[in-house]
Amino acid sequence: MRKYGFIKFGLAAVMLTSASAASEGADVLGGPAYPPPPLIPFVYNWTGFYAGVHAGGGWSNGDWGSAGFVGGGQAGFNYQINQWVLGIEGDIAGTSIKDSVSATVVGPGAVITGNAEASLDWVSTLAPRVGYAFNNILVYGEVGGAWAHASGTASAGINGMQLISVSVDETVSGWMFGIGAEYALSNNWTAKIEYNMMDFGNSGPFADNTFNVFKAGINYRFGAPGWPF
């Protein structure tokens, strides 16, 4: 009888162990194991309105040999199609560029003097641009219109007496070409470097003259931040 009891106890233990193993096996095989979803790479989107400031240097290739500081602001709009970015941008900047010349001629009983001063007060551009985006890096080129305002005076005299004085205050127009690169610092802030060449042809005080600007700037893009496509 005691032997039969031990046999029943052993069978019960085997059945419990088998049931536990079957239960664990069911838990393991109860559902398929799915891998985690792949990470979607973040792609910066350049679409939107923006505004910012810039500063740099400007110099002339023509009659004006002087160079100076250029600083101002810009605003524009970009629209991205796949990796291509189409946009338009306008800017305006004041300059510290000035030039002056003086001459003295000594003759029999007379000293003739002449003086001229001119300053480039501001320059402005408005241009469509086309760029190609490498995620948060944008390289672009632009061609459009350019405007500049110059003012100056010229005078001449003899033996310390002023004989003539004229002044010039003129805004001229021309065309511009530019290339640049822009880098997205965060969803809304970007930094850029850019070169512009402006040609004013034979306009006023800028006769046969081109004006060059190299500048760096920062922009803030309004609206939603960059987002994945």
Query: Which tokens hold the place of 195?
Result: 């070169």
- pLDDT, tens only, 168-196: 788 889 999 999 999 999 778 999 999 99
Within 22-109, strands assigned E span 48-60, 67-81, 84-95, 98-107
- pLDDT, tens only, 57-95: 998 876 555 789 999 999 999 999 999 999 999 999 999
Residue 229 lies in a domain: no
Query: Which tokens hold the place of 40?
Result: 């979607």
In terms of domains, do 85 and 198 share one? yes
In this structure, how many other beta carbons lie within 10 angstroms of the beta carbon of residue 102? 10
The answer, as to whether pTM is greater than 0.75, is no
Instruction: Let me know how long the chain is.
Output: 229
Mean pLDDT for the chain? 79
Q: Would you state the pLDDT for residue 203?
A: 61
- The helix or strand, by DSSP H or E, that contains position 38, with its residue range, turns out to be none
- Contact present, 29 and 198 (Cβ < 8 Å): no
Distance CA 220, CA 228 (A): 19
Query: Which tokens hold the place of 183?
Result: 């880098």
| CATH number of the CATH domain containing 209 | 2.40.160.20
Query: Which tokens hold the place of 175?
Result: 């065309």
What does the longest C-alpha to C-alpha distance in the chain come to?
155
Task: Give the rounded percent of residues in the chain with a pLDDT score beyond 70.
Answer: 65
In terms of domains, do 153 and 214 share one? yes
- Domain of 120? 48-221
- pLDDT, tens only, 105-158: 666 767 676 666 778 899 999 999 999 999 999 999 999 999 999 887 776 767
